[in-house]
Amino acid sequence: MGKPTGFLEFSREMNPALMPEDRIKNFNEFHPPVSLEERQAQGARCMNCGIPFCQSAMSLGGMVTGCPLHNLIPEWNDEIYNGNWEHALARLCKTNSFPEFTGRVCPALCEAACTCGLYDDPVTVRENELAVIEYAFSHGFIKADPPAVRTSKKVAVIGSGPSGLACADRLNRRGHNVTVFEKEDRPGGLLMYGIPNMKLDKTVVARRVDLMIQEGVSFRLGVDASDPDAAKRIAAEYDAVVLCCGAAVPRDLEVPGRRASGIYFAVDFLKTNTKALLNGDLYDLLEQPAAADRAAGAPAPAGVQGTDNRAAGAPVTAGVQSTDDCAAGAPATAGVQGTDDRAAGAPAPAGDGGLISARGKDVIIIGGGDTGNDCVGTCIRHGCRSVTQLEMMPAPPVERAAGNLWPQWPKVLKTDYGQQEAIALFRADPRVYQTTVKSIIADDSGAVTAVETVKLEFAPDPKTGQPVMKQVPGSEKTVPAQLVLIAAGFLGASPETVDAFGAAVGERGCISTAEGGYHCAGNLDEATSAGLFTAGDMHRGQSLVVWAIAEGRAAAKEVDEYLMGYTNML
């Protein structure tokens, strides 16, 4: 413990956020770091608890609290206070493969469990973590470190999200020959094409992938392994295959009018936005009135004209093999519009120039969660006319309820960045609780023009007596909408990819393994001897980046043992 009285002397200071009115002008990250001096003071607040709940990852009250990676938090807080940045980095990287991702986007399960938070504010664990890794990158501590000795084993990792990257990184460091297959045109999974740039700048993802390439990991982009022939060829060529394809099948909306145009899944919307941003044509596309706008005569939005982050995070090119040199001659997919992760029959994302634009539109987002919030922030940056987020459940309490005690995860109202921006711009919280969509109204051309909403209330089920949500008769309202985004959760792994590898699906539409393990219950193909493993959302269901990294790391250990007959990995 660096400073025994630190928690008494210093109060919690967060990295400041730029004002909503300023940050909505572009897609840049908007939390400039506090000074190093201040960061050291924040490290000094850590009490080096006898029982550090922050690193425990205990399940309490049905939710996990504390870090799933068991990060050695008190150790590196002490090193931060003492200015030993290199030591802090060594302890941080012992448990976390990518602190630059979790340091930006993690909801910080560690802070919810921090003892300082019992009577005061918790230690700024997440930002301390980010400070360590960014200090390390900017001071040249992080250099490519390829393994000195290679084994003869070949591993295929399918999917380049955080679980696939973490698994590939560890197996490569162990000396195995690792190839990551990815169906998209850029690696990163939802780090690249889900989480918006203002939360996680895409240069940060590219920086890590470039490092992995220098260390010997191969990336094959544009390879869709849901093709049974591609799956077979991969299985024949590699000693082990790890499926890390996420749980991207979206929950659809089943209401009259659903097939109207102008209705998209949230991730498709976010993906086209990031793609246009990285390709450098987002602002040009936003300035072109879309066909639907011209028809509806929608006004041009004011105030959104940022240009300084054009082409931010140029695509990773160095060392990444694209469709032409796919392993095993696997077929290439065209562009970004994958179809296998969309609910059957759902319309393809087709905006003008590939962008789904919210410019000048009234937008309804169905789903009050984090993905919906990312859509709010993106729509505002597009220059939408209005934005409303519908949530079926009642608003959570502002403070912990009586039964939700520390160190349980606090089930309280959180007003996230997109919602804060909507409040600043439109003077109203975009969230409307206990409300859902009853029907979608379209014009003669089939384009959505409005949404009929209805209020919900809890009423006892006549058979079971359990409270269930029921529509309130007479509470219907018609709300104008030229763009509807569905952010209603995910149903599990793509069945095509699961079937191509012969894996078995269990709860939540995800791949089954033995309890606590990563070896798949199914088998790729009886003719091959490759071991089949899985990790991340494809295994545990839609979750968090920190869990994906934890699963990818743990799966790597199991793969190593499978390949070598023993493992020394921690």
Contact residues for 87 (Cβ-Cβ < 8 A; gap 6+)? 76, 79
Q: Least distance to ligand FAD from the beta carbon of 178, Å?
A: 15
Taking CB under 6 A as the rule, does residue 156 contact ligand FAD? no
Q: Least distance to ligand FAD from the beta carbon of 98, Å?
A: 11
Q: Are 274 and 266 in contact (CB under 8 A)?
A: no
**Nearer of residues 206 and 546 to ligand FAD, judged by Cβ:** 546
Q: Least distance to ligand SF4 from the beta carbon of 98, Å?
A: 20
For residue 46, the partner it binds in ligand SF4, ligand FAD, none, with Cβ less than 5 to 8 A by kind, is ligand SF4
Taking CB under 6 A as the rule, does residue 543 contact ligand FAD? yes
According to DSSP, the residues that pair with 85 across neighbouring strands are: none
The secondary structure element, H or E, covering residue 133 is: helix 125-138
For residue 74, the partner it binds in ligand FAD, ligand SF4, none, with Cβ less than 5 to 8 A by kind, is ligand SF4
Q: Least distance to ligand FAD from the beta carbon of 81, Å?
A: 27
Alpha helix positions (H), 238-383: 266-279, 282-287, 291-296, 370-382
**Nearer of residues 183 and 359 to ligand FAD, judged by Cβ:** 183
Q: Which of 130, 155, 225, 524 binds ligand FAD (CB under 6 A)?
A: 225
Q: Are 448 and 255 in contact (CB under 8 A)?
A: no
Query: Which three-class secondary structure state does DSSP give residue 218?
Result: strand
Q: Encoding tokens for residue 202?
A: 């895409």
For residue 163, the partner it binds in ligand FAD, ligand SF4, none, with Cβ less than 5 to 8 A by kind, is ligand FAD
User: Rule CB under 6 A: which of 350-409 touch ligand FAD?
Assistant: 370-371, 374
Could you tell me how far CA 435 lies from the centroid of its own chain? 26
Taking CB under 6 A as the rule, does residue 531 contact ligand FAD? no
- 489, 491, 493, 499 alpha-carbon torsion, rounded to 10°: -160
Taking CB under 6 A as the rule, does residue 99 contact ligand FAD? no
Taking CB under 6 A as the rule, does residue 163 contact ligand FAD? yes
CA distance 116 to 128: 15
Residue 300 to residues 174, 308, 359: CA-CA distances in angstroms? 55, 21, 7
* 515-546 CB burial, b ≥16 within 10 A, e <16: eeebbbbbbbbeebebbbbbbbbbbbbbbbbb
For residue 52, the partner it binds in ligand FAD, ligand SF4, none, with Cβ less than 5 to 8 A by kind, is ligand SF4
Q: Which of 54, 248, 278, 556 binds ligand FAD (CB under 6 A)?
A: 248
Q: Which of 110, 123, 190, 384 binds ligand FAD (CB under 6 A)?
A: 190
Taking CB under 6 A as the rule, does residue 246 contact ligand FAD? yes
Taking CB under 6 A as the rule, does residue 224 contact ligand FAD? yes
Taking CB under 6 A as the rule, does residue 164 contact ligand FAD? yes
CA distance 203 to 198: 11
- How long is the chain? 570
Query: Which three-class secondary structure state does DSSP give residue 412?
Result: coil
Taking CB under 6 A as the rule, does residue 130 contact ligand FAD? no
For residue 125, the partner it binds in ligand FAD, ligand SF4, none, with Cβ less than 5 to 8 A by kind, is ligand SF4
> Counting beta carbons within 10 angstroms of the beta carbon of residue 212, is it exposed (0 to 12), middle (13 to 18) or buried (19 or more)?
buried
The secondary structure element, H or E, covering residue 485 is: strand 483-486
Taking CB under 6 A as the rule, does residue 127 contact ligand FAD? no
Q: Which of 569, 397, 550, 399 is nearest to 66 (CA)?
A: 550
Sign of CA dihedral 227, 232, 233, 234: positive
Taking CB under 6 A as the rule, does residue 182 contact ligand FAD? yes
Binding site for ligand SF4 (CB under 6 A): 46-49, 52-54, 73-74, 77, 114-116, 123, 125
**Nearer of residues 43 and 164 to ligand FAD, judged by Cβ:** 164
Taking CB under 6 A as the rule, does residue 189 contact ligand FAD? yes
User: Rule CB under 6 A: which of 281-320 touch ligand FAD?
Assistant: none
For residue 73, the partner it binds in ligand SF4, ligand FAD, none, with Cβ less than 5 to 8 A by kind, is ligand SF4
Taking CB under 6 A as the rule, does residue 497 contact ligand FAD? yes
Q: Are 452 and 476 in contact (CB under 8 A)?
A: yes
Interface residues toward ligand FAD, by CB under 6 A: 105-106, 158-164, 181-184, 189-190, 194-195, 199, 223-226, 244-246, 248, 267, 270, 370-371, 374, 494, 497, 536-538, 542-546, 548
